[in-house]
Amino acid sequence: MKSMSVAMKYFAFLFLTILFTISNAGPISATMQKRDVFVPPITNPTNATVWNSGEVQTVSWDTSAAPVNITNKFGRIQLRQNGNTFPLVLADGFDILLGSYNITVPLLITGVYELVLFGDSGNFSPDFTINGVSE
Ligand SMILES: *[C@@H]1O[C@H](CO)[C@@H](O)[C@H](O)[C@H]1NC(C)=O
Ligand SMILES: *[C@@H]1O[C@H](CO)[C@@H](O)[C@H](O)[C@H]1NC(C)=O
Ligand SMILES: *[C@@H]1O[C@H](CO)[C@@H](O)[C@H](O)[C@H]1NC(C)=O
């Protein structure tokens, strides 16, 4: 991803600007916090993970402590940085009991991110690195 054109960098900048603008408006994460039963810990990515924009990568989580009756069995995966959850949805509507799901890493500015797995509630991965375009 080293030889990104100026146009691509500009696109990534616009994209992130829009994401932050929307996520700072707030309503998305506020509504998500209300459901709270099953919060499976994310097992991948770890703090040693490095992903590249455009790659298909596997998000995994531990379902061993799942309650018998899950209030919301559908999962959703988003990204987060500096406490802001991006509205971009990487995957949605999958069975939270699957334990893993493949996503395509979006085009982002290279940096440290967290994944959020929403089901009944939101659970964060550790900080990990995504290599995209340089700022
Ligand atoms: C990364 O995770 C490993 C295993 O959980 C842990 O031992 C280590 O302290 C972590 N490193 C950082 C920088 O958080
Ligand atoms: C799960 O739901 C079923 C059907 O509604 C109910 O019979 C059962 O008692 C519930 N189990 C638990 C552990 O809540
Ligand atoms: C998920 O992605 C991994 C890594 O690219 C790949 O090996 C695996 O076959 C994919 N699984 C599915 C169900 O697409």
Question: Ligand 3, closest atom to CA 102?
Answer: 1
Whether ligand 3 lies within 6 angstroms of the CB of 58 is answered as: yes
Residue 27 lies in a domain: no
C-alpha–C-alpha distance, residues 45 and 116, integer Å: 11
pLDDT of res. 72: 80
Which ligand minimizes its atom distance to the CA of 67?
A: 2
Cα(78)–Cα(29) distance, integer angstroms: 11
Task: Evaluate whether residue 60 is within a structural domain.
Answer: yes
Task: Report the candidate in 84, 113, 90 with the shortest Cα–Cα distance to residue 17.
Answer: 84
**How many Cβ atoms are within 10 Å of 68's Cβ, its own excluded?**
4
pLDDT tens-digit profile of 43-57? 999 999 999 999 999
Q: Is residue 101 part of a domain?
A: yes
- Whether residue 107 is contained in a domain is answered as yes
Considering every ligand atom shown, identify the ligand nearest to the alpha carbon of residue 48 and give its number. 1
The CATH number for 122's domain is 2.70.50.50
94-128 pLDDT, tens digit per residue, is 999 999 999 999 999 999 999 999 987 788 999 99
CB 89 within 8 A of CB 102: no
- pLDDT, one tens digit per residue, over 63-105 is 988 887 777 889 999 999 999 999 999 999 999 999 999 999 9
The tokens 């990568």 sit on which residue?
57
Task: Identify whether 29 is part of a domain.
Answer: no
Helix runs in 1-135, H state only: 6-25, 27-32
47 pocket-lining for ligand 3 (C-beta < 6 Å)? no
Q: Are 120 and 35 in contact (CB under 8 A)?
A: yes
- Examine residue 17 and state whether it is found in any structural domain, yes or no: no
pTM to 2 decimals?
0.74
Question: Which range of residues forms the domain containing residue 81?
Answer: 42-131
More confident position, 15 or 112: 112
Does any domain span residue 13?
Answer: no
Number of domains in the chain: 1
Q: What is the predicted pLDDT for the residue at 36?
A: 38
Q: Which of 69, 73, 120 to mutate to test the pocket of ligand 2 (most atoms within 8 A of CB)?
A: 69
The pLDDT value recorded for residue 2 is: 52
Closest ligand (CA of 68): 2
In this prediction, residue 29 has a pLDDT band, given cuts at 50, 70 and 90, of very low
71 lines ligand 3 (CB under 6 A): no
Q: 15-19 long-range CB contacts below 8 Å, 24 or more apart?
A: 15/107, 16/108, 16/109, 19/86, 19/87, 19/88
